[in-house]
Amino acid sequence: MMLAGGNAARWGRAAAVAAWLLVCAVRPAWAHGITGGATQFLDKPVGQYLLSVWTSPVPAAVGVLHVTIALHGGPAGGVVVGAAIELSVRDKTGAVLATALAREGDENKFLYEADIDLSAPGEFDVEVLVKEPLGAGSANFSLLAEAGSARPTSSGIGWMAGLAALVALVLAGAIAALRRKAVVHAA
């Protein structure tokens, strides 16, 4: 009889560990707007707004650089939609190599996204310029792009699916252990 109780306790601990792993896997996905990427800055003051920026692939490489932008704050303090955001990529000399207008996100309507083609490796300065709706400001970050082609980013959905399968397996084992315990008590 103690053996069945010990199994249930082990399954309970396994379920707790699986739930903890699931939370750890999902939290970064939320932080990256489910698009993944390297954090360039979080809640950086830009004019009257707060700006967060992520880039992918990680590490940056020659090819398409995907930039995800979150803009919030202002008088209402919430997410800002309908903003005009422009990105500029400069080399070490200050020459503009590429510009792009950020569009409202395809995957998440509260984020802005832009794709910039990096044609050569090197160190770059990326400027994010917020032009409207209520005020202007800009923020810069340095980016090192490696040689080689860009790798597609993983959104974390594969990890979440794997962890969901693990949780389902642990729960199935826990249910089986409880059924065995019920059979022992019935006899």
Structure tokens at 95: 């020459």
Indicate yes or no: pTM above 0.95. Answer: no
47-91 residue pLDDT tens: 888 999 999 998 999 999 999 999 888 666 788 888 899 999 999
pLDDT for position 29: 42
User: Is 33 in contact with 40 (CB distance < 8 Å)?
Assistant: no
At 100, which amino acid appears? A
Structure tokens at 170: 């642990």
Crossing angle of helices 2-31 and 157-186, in 10° steps, is: 160
Q: What is the mean pLDDT of the chain?
A: 78
User: Is 60 in contact with 67 (CB distance < 8 Å)?
Assistant: no
pLDDT for position 138: 92
Q: In whole angstroms, how far apart are CA 5 and each of 12, 20, 29?
A: 11, 23, 37
Q: Phi and psi (nearest 5°) for 58?
A: -115, 120
- % of residues, the chain, pLDDT over 90: 34
Other beta carbons within 10 angstroms of residue 23's beta carbon come to 10
Phi-psi region of 37 (alpha: psi -120 to 50; beta: other; left: phi over 0): left
Domain map of the chain by residue range?
2-27+159-186, 35-154
5-34 residue pLDDT tens: 566 667 677 766 666 555 555 444 444 445
Q: What is the CATH number of domain 35-154?
A: 2.60.40.1930
